[in-house]
Structure 1
Amino acid sequence: MAGTIALPLEEFIASLDNASLPKILQVCSGVYFQGSVYEISGSEVCFSTGDLIKVIRIELLSVSCEDVRKNDKFELPINHTGLFKVVPDEMPYSSIEELLSLRPVGLESSLPFTFSSHSKMTFGTLTLGPGRALTVLSIERHKGEEDQVRCHVKGQQEASAEVRIPLSSRGEFYECGSEECFTLQEIMSSPSLRSRRFHFINTTKYEQPLVLSPVYQVHAIMNLRKNVLKFPSNLEVDVVDVTEQCKDADFVNPLSLTEVLSQPDESFPAVVEILECPETRSLFKCSWLPELNKNQHLVFHKKGTTAMVLLSSLKSRKTQQYFLVSQQYGGRLRRRPREFNSVYELYAASTRTPGLKVSVTRNCEEVEEEGLPALSVGDQLEIVSCTRMELLCESSKGNKQSVEALLCQHLSDPNDVDDDDDDDDDGDEEVKEQDEKTEVLLPLYMQGHFVEILSDNKKYRLSDLEKEFSLPLDVKVVSRDTGLELDPLVGAACLRIEASMLEPTIQASFPHRPDYCFEIPTQWLSLSVSFTKHPLPWPQGQPPKCNIERVTEVTDVFFYEFRIRGNTDEAPPPRPPKRDLSSLSVTKKSSKSEKKSSKTSKAKNKQKSVPTDQFSALTLNNKKRPPAPPPPDGLNDEPPPLAPRKLSEAETATRKAQPNTYVKMEQSIKNDLYDMSADVDSDHDYESMDESLVSMVKTAQEHIVFY
């Protein structure tokens, strides 16, 4: 493109691709909204005449659709699923060669296509009238002869013929409509197609021809600004390509951390400036991360690859923590026994640790139908292999069901050997040998609680643990790393080494403290920097001795992202076999009836032992009273006499108190109750009442008032 031709920014960007970048543009004119300032995605973009813009990347965002006749515009996403057809040009072509050269795509890939002639055409003995449609089938090239196109002509009464027309044939030719359809992606990828007009198919929303234009997001830098600009390509700005004239212009070169790794080793150490802050601060919980602010300077000492491990603290009352630790960590660690909550976890651990030995920490009852053996606290097992076991499936009429199981050997506890029985040592040895060979099958779906048996009490370096043992591995820090000001791993009851990795890192520090270094994992931190010409913060040729921060605390988000990236398609734990629902229902019913009968017996026993329940049934506040016992023989069915009205103090003084009507019945009721309890042949199961119960009944009777 000529450097003196001014083009609209949209048209110029549409003619580029990322392979041709970078390009330096100069703003020469434009129509601005609200002056010369654009507010785009929260950043202020200002273009003035004469500004230099260095385009470093373009990204296709959407497609602008313009209805020329109605002067209407709208945008479609690039992944729009609708199809478009080319609208034939109304402009005539003067020759066959011109008609073929202006096809939207390559001729061979777009065949066949149809055109017509405005005038009569004669080819030897064949004459074609005006308006006759000709379909181009192929182009024929012969050495020493003029190129020709082979066309199909459809005549009257379904008659057809083939003709060959030289490319140099002149006339007035028009393109006919085609049934070929295109997607937005195909149209935008072809410069020839972008120059044509289209219309939707299978829709009546827009029947008018549309001009399709790509809308890019432009990533650029300016010579007077340090940050990367992002703006759409459809800004109404005219630009000129001045790439050749401004090769030596001073532009800030923003680099991502991945691009920093590609720089030569001679570029380090250097002072860099942060242009864009980290986008995801939730991955790390380290002390240096909050200081990575915009325009902050850093010292990049060197680049490299660091061997690291991912640690996690076990779940406890405190919040679970995660650490990214370099294998150069100087502390000493001791192995801790691992805990397992299922047989499947035992199986997974045994595949990485042959000869794994565990101890049972919780009793397990035997369930013969499901193949669950009885385990007691303290039982020691050695994992042998994974095999299969047969279970009797009740629902399948005696058929057996095969499930995966873990073959283990029972180990005898050396503390169980009786030292006093010295006379029968040979017999004890035989029994011990027999116990050691006792085998047990544990289904993989079985839940249980086990702890690893360890006989190793040695102190290890972190790098040695990863070499000698398979991961995951439970450890405890027994001596801190003296090279760290504060070792966050000390004090944790137990840490689990989840995995090891090789991470590309950049060793960095802040200029005010160049000897305190930390390692930035470039794959986990998004940061844009630029190399500066600032001097290093130490005397020339005298770099400081760096103390590297070997432990970096990360968040649970980092841990889960790491697990997702390294996810292996492991099979889930097996399910337990299907149970017989009918037997379960019978069992549930029987258990319910047993519970009901037990509750009834308990209530009956309680009723016998606590006579106050009978007394409470006689109170007026109790809503549900038990049925009254039959009246004694000495009482008739006549209602009791009414109680006398309450007298005043004067009347009370003049009259004598009336005797209680129910006092005379006390002795008869008492005698009748004793007679009832003594009647053994009676059909009623009445219990004898002691003197205290009779006294309570008497008191209750004296307090009953009838209205």
Structure 2
Amino acid sequence: MEGETGLPLQQLIASFDNKCLPKILQVISGVYFQGSIYELSGSEVCFCTGDLIKVINMELQSVCCEYISNKEAFELPISHTGLYKVVPEEMPYSTIEEMVSLRPVGLDSCLPFTFTSRSKMTLDNFTLAAGRELTVLSVEKDQVRCHVRGEQDVSAEVCIPLSFRGEFYECESEECFTLGEIMSSACLRSRKFRTTKCERPLILSPIYQVHAIMNLRKNVFKFSSSSEVDVIDVTEQCKDVAFVTPFSLTEVLSQPDESFPVVVEVLEYPQADSVFTCSWLPELSKSKHLVFHKKGTSDWILFSSLKSRKVQQYFLVSQQYGGRFRRRPREFNSVYELYVASVQAPGLRLSVTRSCEEVEEEGLPALTVGEQLEVMHCDTMELPCGSSKEQKQSVEALICHRLQEPDEGDDDDDDDDDDKRVQQKDKIEVISLPLYMQAHFMEVLSDNKKYRLRDLDKEFSFPLDVKIVNRDNEMETDPLVGHTCLKIEGAISEPIIQASFPHRPDHCFKIPTQWLSMSVSFTNDPLPWPSDQPPDCHVDRVTEVTDTFFYEYHKRGNSDAAPPPRPPKRNLSSSDTSRKSFKPPKKPTKADKSKLRQDESITTTDFANLTINRKKRPPAPPPPVIFEDQPPPLAPRKHSIDVTTSKALPNMYVKREVSIKTAVADVDSDHDYETVDDSLLTMMQESQNNVKFY
């Protein structure tokens, strides 16, 4: 590479467009990107001398504007709305051919343009004065066809040979361009411009975000075209250089069927917050090899477990699942839920699980636990509105038949069966349930049949509550077993890639391409089986997913679903006096609290006989008999102490006399003291005279 002179990366990239890609560039003078070798967006971005860069895509990010006079530069977004005029070149052209040949690439897109001549021009019998403006309309084989505007708005067309000599100057055009228009034309990008408000000429250069791969890298990296690197175009010389091409899962789907099966290498693996919790996902890592067997579309059924479990689980189950299911009755907590279910499955029969009182003004009928209803259709019902009985409002309601229980009778008597059926039909009561009504029902099922999953999908509408009664015997472990109830949320069809690990090529799993973000590269490694003996693949039929997948699924399917209806305004007529007369209890005032304390007060004597638990104090023990002329007996010394039976003896050596002064209440005092009863004082004195202080 000695002696080769490269171009700045910014200049060379500006001459490319996406139609000519890919291009292979070689670094002639490499420097670290922005003076750093640290990672940007997860990949190290630096260029060294001799590196090969394969440019596969470019995205226009902004425009670099540089003043010619002082080299001052700044960036503008591509959406900038300012207008720019083309600045004509200052140097003169000696021939028409030279002026045309030095025009930017893509001459046709730059026509028409205007020029003048400093000298008189004589063309056959036609003479043009100096300084006359000529507009080039087209370039033909050996001449240009020009338009000339003369005096008094007289115009004509003349043909000038390309070899005609003179001193020609380009004129300024009145046409204005936006940054988007300038950047979209290779012809305009090479010209000088000025704004409509400033005469200083500018050079406009596009700044791209370049998507490229390198022969020593295994993933696509992005960098700015403004990086200070000198490069040369070596596309023709390096056609045979093998670059690792990364593919996203979506791009893998676009590959022809003949490309499979193939061994691939993982370049970027899914993040930890994936929507899948399957066993094969943690094994995916960078540089891990996989076998892609084939691509296609898979039909799944989305299951969810009961919400009452500690952790609610969600599963994607293939329709090839071999287990058996039995239907379970569904529970409904509102009439609107009944309506949605009845639209999908007409003829729904229900049992009331919670009683409801009748509210006539709101159209709510009375329901009793155990009653059975049959949903018929949806209709409207009239409710009173306002104080006037004549005012009505219409609300949507579910029309149901209240089914009566059959009368008990002799089972052997079949003569009157027809009459009984007629009587039962006469007993059917029609009731209307407003859609906003909150009630509790359970589905009544007479079906005890076992179903395969594909049969449930054909015969019933989802959602559906089921219980698994037979596991799939072809699976090592069936995660659906052990759940008392599973809810089928709906069906889903997704593009997939059937894959396996090379050490277990027969144990396959399906990768939903729209739910995982990862990139791989195709390798030339041989398949892990003999060419004439492909493995008998066993595909996972149950894949556990997270609640994120569940919510995204419902967000996609129910984005336009209407919300449940709101209940009508309550009838605030004068007849409803019970609601108007109700007043919340007032907070007690200080006077009320004082009165309450006086009412709950007790006498002083009773208070003295009460303990902290408001129970009567037990009677005091009799005083010990002590003779004044004898000393108190000495307690024998104990050499060992029994903790369970020992008690501390009172100290008998201290004898004190306590005098109690009677407190007389001062009638004239402002303080409100309670007076002590004389009998209470007498009792307190007698008891304290008999107490010894130790």
TM-score, normalized by the shorter chain, greater than 0.5: yes
Q: Is the 8 A contact 1:28 1:49 kept in 2?
A: yes
Kindly state the Cα deviation for residue 478 of structure 1 after the two structures are TM-superposed: 1.6
Q: Is the 8 A contact 2:31 2:47 kept in 1?
A: no
Matching of residue 86 in structure 1 with residue 85 in structure 2: yes
The 1-side partners of 2:196 and 2:468 are apart by 70
The 1-side partners of 2:30 and 2:586 are apart by 91
Change (3 A) 1:7 1:616: same
Q: Is the 8 A contact 2:386 2:572 kept in 1?
A: no
Kindly state the Cα deviation for residue 454 of structure 1 after the two structures are TM-superposed: 1.3
Kindly state the Cα deviation for residue 312 of structure 1 after the two structures are TM-superposed: 1.7
1:222-241 correspondence runs (5 A): 222-241=214-233
| Residue from 483, 493, 496 that aligns with 1:505 | 496
Counterpart residue type for residue 497 of structure 1: I
Structure 2, unaligned runs of 5 or more: 608-655, 668-673, 682-694
Kindly state the Cα deviation for residue 236 of structure 1 after the two structures are TM-superposed: 2.4
Matching of residue 254 in structure 1 with residue 246 in structure 2: yes
Kindly state the Cα deviation for residue 126 of structure 1 after the two structures are TM-superposed: 11
Matching of residue 362 in structure 1 with residue 357 in structure 2: no
Q: Is the 8 A contact 1:114 1:178 kept in 2?
A: no
Kindly state the Cα deviation for residue 171 of structure 1 after the two structures are TM-superposed: 6.0
1:331-480 correspondence runs (5 A): 331-394=323-386, 398-414=390-406, 417-419=407-409, 429-436=421-428, 438-480=429-471
Kindly state the Cα deviation for residue 273 of structure 1 after the two structures are TM-superposed: 0.9
Change (3 A) 1:127 1:529: closer
Kindly state the Cα deviation for residue 520 of structure 1 after the two structures are TM-superposed: 0.8
The 1-side partners of 2:530 and 2:409 are apart by 75
Structure 1, unaligned runs of 5 or more: 623-647, 663-696
Residue aligned with 1:434, SS: helix
Change (3 A) 1:181 1:188: closer
The 1-side partners of 2:19 and 2:126 are apart by 53
Counterpart residue type for residue 52 of structure 1: L
The equivalent residue for 2:171 is 175
Change (3 A) 1:659 1:557: closer
The equivalent residue for 2:14 is 14
The equivalent residue for 2:41 is 41
1:1-80 correspondence runs (5 A): 6-32=6-32, 39-78=39-78, 80=79
| Residue from 184, 188, 194 that aligns with 2:189 | 194
Greater alpha carbon shift after TM alignment, 115-124 vs 264-273: 115-124
Kindly state the Cα deviation for residue 8 of structure 1 after the two structures are TM-superposed: 2.8
Counterpart residue type for residue 57 of structure 1: N
The 2-side partners of 1:650 and 1:587 are apart by 68
The 1-side partners of 2:96 and 2:568 are apart by 77
The equivalent residue for 2:650 is none
Matching of residue 490 in structure 1 with residue 481 in structure 2: yes
Q: Is the 8 A contact 1:509 1:516 kept in 2?
A: yes
> How well do the aligned residues superpose, as a CA RMSD in angstroms?
4.6
Counterpart residue type for residue 461 of structure 2: S
Kindly state the Cα deviation for residue 229 of structure 1 after the two structures are TM-superposed: 2.7
Change (3 A) 1:187 1:444: farther
The 1-side partners of 2:104 and 2:41 are apart by 40
The 1-side partners of 2:660 and 2:236 are apart by 132
Q: Flag the structure with higher helix content.
A: 1
The 2-side partners of 1:146 and 1:67 are apart by 34
Kindly state the Cα deviation for residue 554 of structure 1 after the two structures are TM-superposed: 1.1
Q: Is the 8 A contact 1:96 1:167 kept in 2?
A: no
Greater alpha carbon shift after TM alignment, 496-505 vs 61-70: 61-70
Superposed CA deviations along residues 141-172 of structure 1, whole A, max 9, x for unmatched, are 99999734375x8x9xxxx7252353639764
The 2-side partners of 1:40 and 1:471 are apart by 47
Residue aligned with 2:87, SS: coil
Superposed CA deviations along residues 228-287 of structure 1, whole A, max 9, x for unmatched, are 232222222233333333222222222222232333434333321111112474211112
The 1-side partners of 2:321 and 2:307 are apart by 23
Kindly state the Cα deviation for residue 10 of structure 1 after the two structures are TM-superposed: 2.2
- TM-score of the superposition, structure 2-length normalised? 0.75
Counterpart residue type for residue 24 of structure 1: I
Change (3 A) 1:304 1:144: closer
Change (3 A) 1:276 1:142: closer
The count of corresponding residues between Structure 1 and Structure 2 is 609
1:85-234 correspondence runs (5 A): 85-91=84-90, 147-149=145-147, 161-166=153-158, 168=160, 172-176=168-172, 178=174, 180-182=176-178, 184-199=179-194, 208-234=200-226
Q: Is the 8 A contact 1:276 1:527 kept in 2?
A: yes
Counterpart residue type for residue 47 of structure 2: F
Change (3 A) 1:699 1:471: farther
Counterpart residue type for residue 174 of structure 2: S
The 1-side partners of 2:137 and 2:459 are apart by 72
Counterpart residue type for residue 13 of structure 1: I
The 2-side partners of 1:544 and 1:291 are apart by 21
Q: Is the 8 A contact 1:117 1:174 kept in 2?
A: no
